[in-house]
Every structure is written in C-alpha cells, then in structure tokens.
Chain A
C-alpha cells in the first residue's frame, strides 16, 4: 500500500503550493481523497475529531438510494416487456433493458454535474464538495425513463449553476438542486415530462404500451388496474426510482438508523400527507380525492420525495422544532397540490420546493422564540434590580 501512496504523492507534486499546476489542486485532491482520507491534522480548536466527514455522510445517502435504484432499473424493463409481451418477465431481461436505458442518464447526470462542480472548485479555490454525489444520482431517479439525454444534461447544468452555485455553492442553496433539475425539465419541456406517453420505456413509439401513471389514470377518470401490492412493491409506471415504496422504506431505514436523514421530517411528512389525504377522502368530490389516503402515500413520488428529497439538510428546516413543522407541511402540500393541480396530477416536486422556500421562515420563527426567551429573562433581571 505504501507503494501506491508514494506513487500518488509523486503524481501530485506538480499540483503543490507554488508549483506549475497549483490552481488545479482541488481537482486532483478530490480524486486523491477518494482513495485516502488525507493526513491532515488538527491545527486549531479541538485536537481530536470525530471519525465522520461529509464524504461518509453523502456516501451513506448513496447507499440508501441503491435498493430503490436497482428496482427502478428492473422496473423500467419490466413495465416495457410486460406490456409488450404480457405475462411473466425474466428478471435479467428486464434488468438489462432497464440498465441500457437508465445507465446513460446516470452517466450524463454525473458527468455534467461533476464537471461544473470541479470547474467551480478550481475557480473559487476550495475543495470539491461531496453534495453532488447524491444530487447526481437523485436526478436520474426522478426523471421519466425516455427523457432525451441532452435534456438531462441541460437540467443538471441549470440546477448546479442556478440552483446551487449562484447562491454560493454547497450549503448555501435554498432549493434542493435535484428538484430544481426536475422542475427545469418539467417547465421547459412539459411534453417530455407529463402525459400518458412518457412513464414507460418506448411508450411514445409503440402503440401497445400505455405510459400512464396511476395518478394520471385517476385524473383522467380511467380505472386503476393495479393492486395495492403492486403500488407498494413498485411494479407500476412512474419516474425511474420513485415507484417502489418498499425499497424506499429500506432506504429510509438506512437513513434513520445511521442518523443521516432526519426521521422528524419523514414522520412529519407522512403524518401531514395522511391527514390531508383523509380530509380529501371525506370531501370526495372526484376520483383523486376519493383515492384512499393510505394509497396516496404509496403511489407517485410521495415516498421518494419525503425520504430522499425533503430531508436534504441544506434546503430543509434546520432547527429541531422547525423540522417537525416543515415535515408536516411538506406532506400537507404534496397531497394538496397533487389533488388540485389541474395540469398535472402530481404535487410532490412542487410541494417540497414550496416548503424549501418557506423553511428559513419556519426556522426564523423557531429561533425568534429563543430570542424572546432571552429578552424576557433580561427584562426580568432588570426589573429585579430596580425593585
């Protein structure tokens, strides 16, 4: 191992301080630190540090995404082959078809995003932040499978440039970058992002294939011919990674057990979504409203959005109390927009983006309460002195 280390140190020499390619150091460091945790020691402050770092945190999220991703790849092929040929579909056949479709999207997403991240790191002279490891995988998982690759690249570029770097980079963005990418694609190219032709591979080309989602069917007044088990296990049309509530729950368990994702936000959102669904059930004016509240929670992007999108610590509320409020409101608005949106029968993206915008306001009021307590204490102590 020593040999490899020496080799890398030798390779890095021209990137050192005062050397020829000093400016490019962040790029080479980003690659090196993926092999080795660097030999940096503490300079100021506490002399010992926790074993955790941002890489470890972000990789944990990527690991939590993997079960849903693998199922998403399989489901892409399954939906296509099942509708085309009917009957049972061999796992490998479905998986290979899905991989052929999904892998290029992932490659484009990472390629474009990381290129921009590296350029900005070099330009600004800071190290490459690991946040895009997650964003780069989230983007493909929330896109319809037939989206043209150039659209993926453009959306990612927009999200990283306007959604993140324009605000000052990682940690400063207001909106979840992956959702910004989806929102950009949604508003810029609506025909590729909605309707009943995009949610299954090749649905727009082959007449025998219907690309309609369950929510789409409900909005159009069609019958839903999927069982609740299909909805839960994920054998339904939809964005690549969003369909399997079961495997998203596996991811949620990983996030909660490792403490990386906020359980408060997840539970809050489930409570908020359930209550809103229940209220609509009571009202019951149309098919979407009378769709059972518990099925609202397992179809569409709700589970995926709540577990992986709403919990993004940068764009969510940051205070403990704020996380509860934020979570509940996310659930609330996701279902409300889903039911009321006349153009598009899904509201998770817009619901979470809306709450991203309001998260700082929620935090503001939570912190204001703390400030009020402090001011009250000061007033009480002043009164004591004059009395």
Chain B
C-alpha cells in the first residue's frame, strides 16, 4: 500500500559540490570519538577509564538519568582521552583504534521470533538504542514508552545531503532484518517514506507502510512527514530512526557484531573530489578532509542547514552521514545591501535576481549576509514551513517561555531541523533552530 505526500511549501537550495555516486573505503583512521553532545539532554556516566582496552561494541558510558541507555564504541582499541569543557562537561571520548577490529559477540538473532521486550533489551544492551529518537523533543527515545508509530525517512532533501537509496545499496537483507525487529516496538504502524519515483529495494520492504514523498526541502524531514501522516498530539510519542541505522541494527541481528559502518557523502565546493566514503561512526574527519589550512574553510558534520561546525581535528557526529566543506565567508562586501546586487548569492527573496534561476547551482559561504535585527518582515517563514504551524508565533512563544502558548501552537510536532530553512530565509537573521531547541528543553523540564 502506498500513499503519496506532496509538499508544496519549502525551498531547494541548489549548491555546487554534490557528491559523485562512487564509494571508496576511507583510509583507516587512528582516532575515533563518541561525542556526548550529539545526544541531546544525555548526561554521560563513564564506564571505561582512560587507558583501558575496549572491543567494538563495548559500553563506554551510559546515560546518568536513564541507566538502560548505553553508548558503545564503534571500534576496538584503547580509550585514550576524555576531553572536557567548561564545568567538566564531557565533550569527546577519544578512542585510539587498533589496526584490526575485535568485536564483542552479541549472538545471532532471528527477529521474527523475538518479542517486543526481547528486541528492546537487545537494542539497549548492544548500544543501538541511541539510534532511535523520539518526537516530541527530538531526543533519544525513552525505553519505557511504547510509541504510537515509527517513522523512517529515506528521502534526503537537504542541500548536498547523502542520497540514502544510494548508501543503502546492497544492504537489502540487513535493512529488512532491522525493520522486522524495530516494527515490533510499536503497537501502531511503521512508516517508511521514499522519494517519489524511487525504484530501489526500499519500495518492496515488508512490514512497513510505504509513502512516496515529493516536493522541495524540507519534504524529506521526518518531522514534516509525521505531520502529514500521523501528527503528534500532546502526550503522544512517535519514534524515528534513520534508514542506515536500521541496516546497522539488521547487521547486528544477522551477524551478532556491532558493525558501525556508515557511507558518508563528502560534499561541498572546498572538497577536491566530492564522493562517498565508507567510515565508522565517530571517525576523525582528517581521513576525509586532509587540509592544514583550516582557517578559511568550514567543515560541517551534517548538511549546511543543520550540521555542526567541526575542526579538521574533529570527529564526524554520531547521526551524520554527510560532511560538507564550504568556504568561510569572513569577508566584506561593499554596498552588498543594495537590492539586486551580488546575485551570485542564492536568495529566495525577490530583492535579488537569484530567485529567477532556481536550477542554477550556487557556491555559498558562511557569511551571515547582514546582521541580526528585530523581527520585522512577516510571511517569509511561512513560505518554507510545510506544516499547519505558525512559525513566527511559535518562535515568539519560545522566546517568551510561554509554555501554554507553545503547546497550543504545536511545539510537540517540531524539531530544530524543521526550522533550519527559517534560519536560512529570515531577513532578521534570527537563530530559529536554537530558539526551538531551547523551547523544547523548557518543555522537557516543565512538562516531561
């Protein structure tokens, strides 16, 4: 059964430097890291001490307030350093990898014969639980809950994002095994959405409700799909998981090993050869971007709209399957504020000519193209928000910490990534994703 979803509002930002559809093995890197900051609202409690040996799949730390949720190492090696920031907050747990991986054995399982409780216990023990995130709040799912449905979006619409159908090629059986296990976790349906016109194996996956999505970004955002298929009401939970993580769970079930291999798209105009690489989760980005002159480039773990800034010595984020490298925009533009000047900068507003050429591919940098101002212009956020939500009013409610209003205006249905295009489009250059994240954190604290 298939249902079509057509998204009309939104914006495709066409950028130069898309990854060519070629996969290479990345050279084996020495250092890996788990970054607790990738797991929002998790306070890590270390299990392994500095200098101890670990096998791939061994627990490194667990969540202080939900001890069942464990985080495991993607490679075998030695825990070399725990890097801390202000107030001794753990930022990175660095592992010095062995030349060959030794795996911790979890045992081969047949998902068809497992009960929901067994699946849950297995995922928690093997460190695969953090792959599952929940809406509302966009945090790791609470193992005590039973979600009303599970969503998997295999349509990546963000600029330069990895093509999921390409990265999943050849992992048909792993993916099916993963779906068989995960679909047991909900009493409702498991929804899988693909791009309209897709002909990959994903259209034939069993045990899911298939949706064909078309339209501009953020049509591929799982939150937008949830909104149109089975919206989250107050008090309800929906779980989401990304397709490649389903395949990792499938591999674990079929082989008994936690093989944290990701196919990552290396993209952006500052990359010599944009293409796909196979790396382990948490790999040092130096294997892909080997540049010492990191001053005038920005390395982003993730896509240009939602990713995290990392240094050339940094590590690819736990959930990210894209690494984008673009020039920094720390230069001045004379009279750049004049209308119809600098049309080589993409703009959805008609005060630049670039909106006339939606198919042209642009080179972008990280210049703010202005300064932060009070909110004046109205109607622009609505153009990139394909949900029945008033984005500006919701943002203002978040700024004012008005919980009742936030709830009424639909805070449960959004994640920061759904406001990424608002960030991009806003004339007043406000940080919408950050405001939503703080709003969600307030809700976690006050409502739970």
Contact = CB atoms under 8 A, between A and B. Distances in A.
Interface stretch (A183-191, A214-222, A226-234, A370-378): A370-378
A42 interface: yes
A129 B373 CA distance: 7
Interface stretch (A33-41, A109-117, A241-249, A294-302): A33-41
Interface stretch (A100-108, A274-282, A313-321, A349-357): A313-321
A171 B375 CA distance: 6
B350 A319 contact: no
A205 interface: no
B307 to A, nearest CB: 7
A46 B368 CA distance: 10
Interface string A50-75: 11111111011001000000000000
B174 to A, nearest CB: 32
Interface of B is mostly: loop
A63 B346 CA distance: 22
B8 interface: no
B373 A46 contact: no
B339 A49 contact: no
Contacts of B91: none
A51 B338 CA distance: 10
Nearest to A323: B379
B351 A258 contact: yes
B347 A47 contact: no
B390 A56 contact: no
A35 B335 contact: yes
Contacts of A60: 339, 351
B334 A35 contact: yes
A51 B373 contact: no
Contacts of A367: 390, 393, 409
Given A52-B351, A52-B369, A39 B330 contact: yes
Contacts of A169: 374
Given A313-B376, A318-B392, A54 B428 contact: yes
A170 interface: yes
Contacts of A129: 373-374, 376
Contacts of A53: 337, 369-371, 373, 427, 429
> Residue among A40, A319, A323, A377 with the most chain B CB within 10 A?
A40
A370 B374 CA distance: 25
B51 interface: no
B374 to A, nearest CB: 3
B376 A37 contact: no
Contact of B332 (A38, A49, A314, A320): A38
B257 interface: no
Contacts of A5: 332
A343 interface: no
Contacts of A33: 337, 371
Contact of A51 (B234, B324, B331, B369): B369
A131 to B, nearest CB: 7
B126 interface: no
B367 A41 contact: yes
Nearest to A262: B379
B233 A377 contact: yes
Contacts of B374: 129, 169-172
Interface residues of B, number: 75
A347 to B, nearest CB: 25
A39 B334 contact: no
Given A50-B349, A50-B424, A320-B379, A42 B337 contact: no
A42 B366 contact: yes
A313 B378 contact: yes
Interface size grouping (class) on chain A: 35 or more
Given A45-B432, A171-B376, A259-B350, A55 B300 contact: no
A54 B410 contact: no
Contacts of B159: 48
B429 A49 contact: yes
A257 interface: yes
A127 B354 CA distance: 28
Given A47-B307, A370-B409, A381-B236, A52 B347 contact: yes
Contacts of A63: 339
Nearest to B305: A46
Contacts of A36: 332-336
Interface in B362-412: 364-379, 382, 388-390, 392-393, 408-410
Contact of B304 (A46, A59, A259): A46
B396 to A, nearest CB: 10
Nearest to B13: A48
A387 interface: no
A316 B421 CA distance: 24
B337 A40 contact: no
B432 A59 contact: no
Contacts of B300: 47
B384 to A, nearest CB: 10
B423 interface: yes
A46 to B, nearest CB: 4
Contacts of A42: 366-368
B431 A44 contact: yes
B419 to A, nearest CB: 8
A285 interface: no
> Residue among B159, B306, B389, B390 with the most chain A CB within 10 A?
B390
B275 interface: no
B433 interface: yes
Contacts of A130: 373
B379 A374 contact: no
A45 B376 contact: no
A5 B336 CA distance: 14
Interface string A300-315: 0000000000000110
A38 B371 contact: yes
A320 B382 contact: yes
Closest 8 interchain pairs by CB?
A53-B370, A171-B374, A37-B336, A46-B423, A55-B337, A51-B345, A51-B347, A36-B332
Interface of B: 13, 159, 231, 233-234, 236, 298, 300, 304-307, 309, 324, 326, 328-339, 342, 345-352, 354, 364-379, 382, 388-390, 392-393, 408-410, 420-421, 423-429, 431-434
13 contacts: A1-B334, A36-B333, A46-B305, A46-B306, A47-B309, A47-B366, A48-B13, A48-B304, A52-B369, A54-B373, A54-B377, A260-B351, A367-B393
Given A48-B366, A313-B378, A377-B233, 14 more contacts: A39-B329, A39-B330, A41-B365, A42-B366, A45-B423, A49-B369, A51-B349, A52-B349, A56-B339, A59-B339, A172-B374, A320-B382, A370-B409, A381-B236
